[in-house]
Structure formats: C-alpha cells, structure tokens
Structure 1
Amino acid sequence: MFENLSERLDRSFKLLKGEGKITEINVAETLKDVRKALLDADVNYKVAKSFTDTVKEKALGQNVLTSVKPSQLMVKIVHDELASLMGGTAIDINLAGSPAIILMSGLQGSGKTTFSGKLANMLKTKRNKKPLLAACDVYRPAAIEQLRVVGEQVGVPVYMELENKNPVEIAMNAIREARAKGNDVVIVDTAGRLAIDEQMMKEIAAIKSAIQPDETLFVVDSMTGQDAVNTAKEFNERLNFDGVVLTKLDGDTRGGAALSIRTVVDKPIKFVGTGEKMDALDTFHPERMADRILGMGDIVSLVERAQEQYDEEEAKRLQKKIAKNQFDFNDFIAQIQQIKKMGNLKELASMIPGVGKALKDIDIDDNAFKSIEAIIYSMTPDERVNPAILNGSRRQRIAKGSGTTVQEVNKLIKQFDETRKMMRMLTAAKPGSKKFPSLKR
C-alpha cells in the first residue's frame, strides 16, 4: 500500500544536502518535493501545505549529530508528523453498551456489508463477543442475502425481516432479538446510495436517533482519495460519526484518504480493510502506518499476526520433533498453512524493515505455495512421515500427480532437507545447550 507515495518521499529525502545543520536553504527543495508528493498522492491541498510548514518549522536550525545525516533527521521529523497527521495513537471502538450497538454508514459500494462481517468476525474471535448482524438495507437488490452469506462465513447470526421495509423498525427489533438471545454486540448494516441525497441522510439519521448507537462508523473506499474525504465531511456534518473505516487500503498506492481524512473531519480512523478475506481487517495504528509509508516496515503488526496463529502446545510438540530430527512434510505443510492465515504474502514481507523497497517491482502471488502444496499432497502418508524413502520412481510419480516436474520435486526435497538441518542446528544452539552453554556459573 502507498507504494507511489513511499517512493516519492524516499526520492525527496535524497535531495537534502549539507552537513551539521538543517537550514532554510538546504531544506527548501526537499519540502517542496515532499509537498508535491503529497499532492500527487491526492492529499488535501491545505493539509499538505500545513504539513510541510510544520515540518519546516520543526526542522529549521536543528543540529545534526555527527552520526546522523540531515536526511535521516528529516525522515524522523516527517515520520512523527505523519503519525500526528493520521491521529497519533490508535483509538479503540466503544463497546460499553449492553448490548453495544454499532451503526454503519457510507455510500453504496464502499464495503459496509463486507466490513460488518469482518468486524463481527474480529469481535467474535479476538474479543470473545457474541455479535448479531442486523440487515437494514431494504433497497439494494440481494443486500440482505449478501449479509446472510457474510454472516454464515464468519459464523455470526443475522437478523433480517424480508417483508418489513422500515429500517428503523428492523434495527429496533434486532436489538430486542439480541437482548433475548444473549448477543452483546449488534452491528447495524444500513443502505448506501450512489451519491449523497437528502432521503438517505434523513433515514440514517432517523435510525441513529432511534437506536442511540454506542459507535457510529463511516465506511469509505480509500482508493477514491479526495472524494472519500469530501464524502466523509458531508456525512459527519449530518451524522457526527465516531470513527472512520478505510476499506481496500491494500490496493491504495497513493494514500490521500488516510493522510487527509483525520484533519478534515477531526475524527479518528479506527479500522482498515487490507484484503478480501474475512480476517483481513486491522486496527489503525498511525505510527505503524507512518513507518510503512517511509519504508521502515511494521514489525509490531507482523509479530501480532504471528501471535494470533501461535499455538503454544503445537510449538512445544514441534520443537521436540525438530530436536529428534523427526520434522516431516506434515509439519512442513502445517507451517505453510499458518503463514497463509497471516494474510497476503507481499504485505507480510513489506512489514519487514527494508524489504518493502526491495519488493516494490516484484509480484508475490498468494498462490506462491500452490506447487509446494500440490507436491506434498501427492505424497503418500508414509512418504510425508519418512522423506528418506523418496527414491527416483516415487519422485516421478509425485511429479505426475502434482502436475510439476521431477526437477521441481527434487528442488523442494532439497530445500526441505536444508530447512530441517537448519532448524535442528538452531534448536541445538539454544542457551543452556552444549553448543551454546549457559552463562550461569
């Protein structure tokens, strides 16, 4: 995400010359280029100008340590201001009600229904909540069916009334249903329109007035850039929503909406959609996003995603198998499945500092593991457990069964053997082992 902006900012910092101090002369060209980069990223003009003015004011006259280049100091200042521009710190969703009521708003096509399902999934799996989805879009064809399918995907019940065309009544009835069934969160999915119109605004205002939500979220497609900001402003004037949700952020190479919306509407970005899967939803962290924009990676988010898939008992079992040199293809394929659950491979790689820039022109397909999986699944159960028996004839059979070549099968087996050796060495070299003796005396 934000590849274009990241690349432009990186070029801008290289313009900064001079040693010892950042002066008005050596900073002028850099900030002029930074402002142009922000405008090209579809950032609001007033926001871009105010941003560069603030950076200039904070940078001028700052002494540069002998171990730090002027460009590095400028990166630090820009990083802090980017984080501040996007809100400074993450703001959590309000779930104080009993049940907590969350109202969705936004234009048609912004991704409200899909986000409703993703949020329900997040609250269920990470917060131990019992959400109920309420289908209050009575206009769009198949809207209720879409929410029903989404709810089925994430294992969350959906309240719907096929004959009732009054969204206020449906929302109120959904809340009664939640109280009766013990659901502690109600997510109200409302109708969107192709453009802002008076009827829609009156309707959603009426729903808000009737149900008194704990949280009203404005859902917007981040790829619409400045249009997203303008729409957010108009919705906020009528609804006074509590937070913004940016969908399709994984496809946004510019970043205009993320960088402008907080300043223009003075409301925090709370969530970002980062893919099509129902678990592709992240809490918005301004500092981490600033890291990613400036090519510093996002190692904290990467670790958090890994921890979500981490099973302590499974890790202990695996460690014992590695120590005994019993790590097999069943374990190998299980590790691949864990990695795939963490999200898009290129996005995961870009969270590692420095890797994002290296991969900017390289396409990493989510099907990168497909041939590996095909080869392993073409093995017999005995072959997966005992890789040593994979002789020439077995490898030929596996190649035919997986639609690959013998060379590809050989390459995978070789990589597997090298991985197993490396894992065993790392396990043997743990503190306290003979190869890596403890420092305790």
Structure 2
Amino acid sequence: MSKAKTVYQCSACGGQSPKWQGQCPHCGEWNGLLEVVAGTAPRRYASLAASSTVQNLSSISAAETPRHPTGIEELDRVLGGGLVRGAVILIGGDPGIGKSTLLLQALAKVVESRQALYVSGEESAQQIALRAKRLAVESAPIRLLAEIRLESVLATLVQEQPEVVVIDSIQTVYTDSLQSAPGSVAQVRECAAQLTRHAKQHGTTMILVGHVTKEGALAGPRVLEHIVDTVLYFEGDTHSSFRLVRAIKNRFGAVNELGVFAMTDKGLRGVSNPSALFLSQHEEPVAGSCVMVTQEGTRPLLVEVQALVDEAHSPNVRRLGVGLEQNRLAMLLAVLHRHAGIGCFDQDVFVNAVGGVKIAEPAADLAVLLAIVSSLRNKPLPEKLVVFGEVGLAGEVRPVQRGQERLKEAAKLGFTKAIVPKANRPKQAIEGMEIVAVERLEQAVEGCR
C-alpha cells in the first residue's frame, strides 16, 4: 500500500510547502508549519452565485436591503438594523463569554416570524435544552441539530429550508473531502466557503460562531473574515457582568458600532444607557479624573478617563495605559512638556479608561492630558465638565467628527461645561451648557484652573 502524500501547512495563513521550514514562506510566521495529509477534493470550487451577463451599473436598480429585527435592540444596532437575507455573520469571543447564550436568545425571538435552525457541534442537544430552560425560552419552536459533518448539515439545510441558521462553532465542522482534522486551517476555510455558498444561493441568513486565539484574534485563516459579510467581536472582562459586542466589518451597516449587554441569571440583557457604566460615581470631585465623549459608530459614549501621576522611585519611569494606546501616551506627555511647560520626566504616569472600554480614537487626547495635569497638581477638574479633542505635535487642538452629537449627549446626562476644539463649537447654543472653545493645549490647561 503506497504511503499517503503529506505536505506542510501553515496554521496562520493556510499556505502549503512541500518540506518543513522554520518560517512560513507565504506569511512569514515562525514555527507554524504542520505536517498534514494532502487530500484531493473534486467539485469543491463551484461558483458562489449563478452566472450573469455583463450590464451597465447605471441600469441596475438599487433597492434598500430589507432587514429582519432580531428582537434584541442592542444586537440589531450592531448588525445595522437587523438580519439581512443571504448574509453571513461571523461572531467570535473568549470561551464562556456568552456567544451561545446571546444567539439562543435571539433565535427564540426570530422564530416568532421566521424558521430557524441551531446546529451545535460543541454541545449535545440536552445541554442546549438545559440552557434554554435557564433562559426561559424552552417553549420556542427552534429546530436543533447536533452534527459536525458538513455534508449532513448541508443536507439538513436543503430539507428543512430554514431562513436563519446558527453554526456553533465553525471550528468543529469538518468535510469528508479533506483528510485533515476538524479545526485545521483547511477544514475551517473549506467548510466556511461551502456554508457561505449555500447562504448566497438559497438566501439563508448564516451565523457562524468562531473561536479566538490567546491574542484575542479570530482563530483560523484570515480568509474567514474576508468571505463573510459581517464580523462581530464579543468583548468583556470575565470579572464583570457587562459584555460588549463590536462590529469590525459590516457590508450592510456601519462598522465600529457597539452593543452593550449585562449578563444576568436569565441571560444577556441590553443596556439602554451604557454611558452610566463608564462613569464612576464620586461623592465629591477627585484629582486625576476627566470625562470625555467617545464615538462608537453612531453612538456617543461618555467615558471617565483616570490618571495617576506619582514620583518615580527608579531611574526608568513608567508609562502605562489601560484601554488607551501606550505609544500615544508617551507622545502626549512630550507635547504637554514642550507646549504647556508641564514636565513628567521624573514621574510615573498611569492612565485608565473606566469600565474596561477600549478607546482607539484620538479624540481622547485632550481628556487624557487634562486628567494628567489634574493628578500632577492634585487639583480636581471643575464638576460636570466634559472634554474631547485631538492634540497635535505642534500643540494645536484639532476638531473631531460628530462634535454636535457628543455635546448633546453630554448635556442630556447633566454636564454643564465642555472644553472642545474651536472648530467643534456649535453654531447654536446648547441649553444649560457652557462651551469653552480652545485652539491650543495651553489654553485648555489654563481653562481648567
């Protein structure tokens, strides 16, 4: 009997090499080549859609894509308004964070108007029934299939013809056309491609649950994120009851939208006012605290930025940012010294965004610097103050997008004073709010005295 032919496949990108190498020749990943049996798979590369003729773009009628709400407001916000027919959604997150719980709750509401199928590859039917009983949705007419073989799953989809399908998870599904183990790069890529092909041809909304690596990225080949329509990340601290669902990619809506949930004994519950989660309740003003307005998609959120400046007791000072980019913190400290005359070269600086939220936009620059100045001087900022603005290397305060919406959100929550870039000053006064427009960093520092 002839020996099966083997190749070496990269666990990061899926590229193949005839012999082992320390570094993948395709993506440069080190120690990622694993020996696998080379398999042949005829009829694997069918078209994702029926062939069509060439036509002018101007002659195509562009109709608004109809959406079907899931019944969970926060999830609909992240999806762009609801589920789209034929869309493929990939949701990933840490183990035990609540992916299966959220999807089971969503299906329980979806089946009121549409037929849904839950395909489980990780849990038995009894385990899912126990979760449904805990969530009080055991009476929902959800169709359930515990299967990991792709061919059986596709045959069931053709027979049942559901409108919404959940695959939990894509890493457990395998196809007979490949000889590698379930969860390998080839299996994940091939199974995802065939499920996507079925969704596009039959107009089925497909939701794939994906595992994440220890770095927090979605496991499997990067092509998995490219072929789907929407990528959602389930974030949250295991020590906190709050969960965040963020849209990283969305062909049917805005990206970087944020949905906020609270984990309860009855499942996940949407939080209507998430700004309250990220604001600490101090009985009296404290030094080193500054409230900013960040923009998550179309939603403005008020987040408290805390800073602690302490005398360094070692030659190497520390610069630590939690929820903020650390390299940008070092740059902002240099700008503060150069243009405002406030030096922290002999101080340890620690900055934290309250509530575990991650702030990636530069609109947090001004709030971070004012919190640092407040901690260094041990003097609290004015009460009911909100700040936002980008700080440049020349010391200028640059405008940010959606400034009017940020100010209206702050006024709605009772803030009475705002320090904003001059270009973001509203044309019409906002009732009950004093607007201080600044052009330079030193003006903002003086305005907080």
Band the TM-score falls in, shorter-chain normalisation: 0.3 to 0.5
TM, length-normalised to structure 1: 0.32
Higher strand share: 2
TM, length-normalised to structure 2: 0.32
Larger RCO, structure (CA 8 Å, separation 6 or more):
1
